[in-house]
Structure 1
């Protein structure tokens, strides 16, 4: 179902994948989220695979947690050169999390983002390129949620993922039974199709959300797409939803004027209030 909303991607073989990463860029030395000014606390959560940086604002113990999952970050410096640090320059996802009025909000970085190299044994560009959605990556996100739930006493989780973070959200939801809702923003819900669109090589070693669409079909989902997005076009969300059973709970919501990176801050307060199907 598509709803109109009136307001506002080794090495050479993965060359065109860089299209997906330009503009989601930076290093942990260049970006200062100043989390304390927005009521967030920064910490490093150890999992069986990665040490994940999270920023959390917990004011309602026992209440649901809304988890924002970062995009692919600065995976590439140039078309033929992978970044040595995938930390995003653009603080879009953190900014959206800071706008969320929910009692418990967590911003979850992706592996190696905001994490000092010396504190991450698995610091390897493969995890922000061809294996960005691999089993170890999804396991780490899944375990972060487990630790957050145990600490806060929360029973349910709402997932919100931007770009590649949308893929992680779906892949995590497919293995859990406590996800109340999924929202994606310009979500990469079928990386094989996205790579075909950009004439890029496949992400060998990565799981693909669309392969698990039936497992999450019963979860309320709003997939927000920008009608000006040339990185992850709206057709990706449409294809994802079309792969589900007809009685699915997912809908695409097209946001007028939004590109892959621009227009989301202005529209987010209203989009958060959009009812689920």
Structure 2
């Protein structure tokens, strides 16, 4: 029997080495929103923020059309590349409060976009989730179930898979690396389980077993969603790195550890715990150093 390649390690990055204003500002912004002290930016402002971030790097917005949804993608100038890295956004602004569903899931903080833009180690593109960043003209199919209980539904995953195939064809790539943040980690894992061209799966605070996750938080199960944990057999042959924050209360590290614990003993997978890191704050500041560390 092959020896297990599954690992659980700590990444030697100290979040307190970051500029104090970066961590404190992000923390206070989240805290204020949780207590209703600040207003949520409008959809237009959220979209404009993403457009400005992309434009600063010379990236452009592209709508990818599928039968079920139109998906927003931000891309660098097109050129042929053998290996393409696709960053997949998190759940975005799915809920206004614990009881009020958002009318539009466009994220206030497009973290996966920031990660993609900071990746100097690969040719990367960004792929939003259904109904994020798209105007009314392109919002057909946008029922709020697709960012609540059916956020990982078969039709969502099918649309995302079609978009990934279109991106692969456009850049004429032969291999893919899928990177997903939070709920985007679940999407990336599900896509990787059904494709034969994904050579690496990377998640950041990824929701890899939503049944375990909803049980842990004592919230309603995602009844309309596929669960990445049910596809571990298909994922066992793919190299995986799952980054989690030591102080992440949304996706605690033990959930990722349980996920890779269910992979086959020969799986090349590891969980990397980042000290002091929470679910959202500062991943984009850490990411360039994390990627450079992976190259060593």
Q: Which residues of 2 match residues 108-119 of structure 1 at below 5 A?
A: 108-119=127-138
Q: 5 Å matches for 1:150-161? A: 150-161=169-180
Structure 2 CA distance, aligned partners of 1:123 and 1:117?
A: 10
Please tell me whether Structure 1 or Structure 2 has the larger radius of gyration of its CA atoms. 2
Query: How many pairs does the alignment contain?
Result: 263
Determine the C-alpha separation between the residues in 2 that align with 1:27 and 1:129.
Answer: 20
> Normalized against structure 1, the TM-score is what?
0.90
Q: Separation in 1 of the partners of 2:42 and 2:291?
A: 29
Q: Aligned ranges for residues 94-243 of structure 1 at < 5 Å? A: 94-243=113-262
* Alpha-carbon separation, structure 1, partners of 2:221 and 2:82: 40
* 2:73 counterpart of 1:54: yes
Structural RMSD (CA)? 1.8
Q: Secondary structure at the match of 2:44?
A: coil
1:220–1:250 CA contact under 8 A, matched in 2? yes
Q: Residue 28 of structure 1: which of 22, 27, 43 is its match? A: 43
> Unpaired segments of 5 or more residues in structure 1?
9-20
Match of 2:9 in 1: 3
Q: CA deviation at 1:201?
A: 1.1
Shift of 1:134: 0.3
Of 103, 108, 115, the residue aligned with 1:84 is 103
Cα drift, residue 104 of structure 1: 2.3
Measure, in 2, the Cα distance between the counterparts of 1:107 and 1:27. Answer: 22
Distance (whole Å) between structure 2 residues aligned to residue 100 and residue 140 of structure 1: 25
Q: In 2, distance between residues paired with 1:216 and 1:273?
A: 25
User: Alignment partner of 2:258: what SS?
Assistant: helix
Once residues 123 and 192 of structure 1 are traced to their aligned partners in structure 2, the CA distance between those partners, rounded to angstroms, is: 24
Higher helix fraction (1 or 2)? 2
| 233-242 vs 265-274, greater mean Cα deviation | 265-274
CA distance in 2, matches of 1:58, 1:166: 25
Contact 2:180 2:186 in 1 (8 A): yes
C-alpha contact (below 8 Å) 1:167/1:188 kept by paired residues = yes
C-alpha contact 2:253 2:273 (8 A) present in aligned 1: yes
- 5+ residue gaps, structure 2, are 1-6, 16-32
Give per-residue Cα distances to partners, 1:55-89, cap 9 Å, x unaligned: 01145413311100000000011111100000000
In 2: Cα distance, 1:126 partner to 1:257 partner: 33
Task: Say if 2:286 is the partner of 1:267.
Answer: yes
For the 8 Å contact 1:26–1:86, the answer to whether it is kept is no
For the 8 Å contact 1:186–1:223, the answer to whether it is kept is yes
Q: 1:167 to 1:65 in 2, by over 3 A?
A: same
* Secondary structure of 1:30's aligned partner: helix
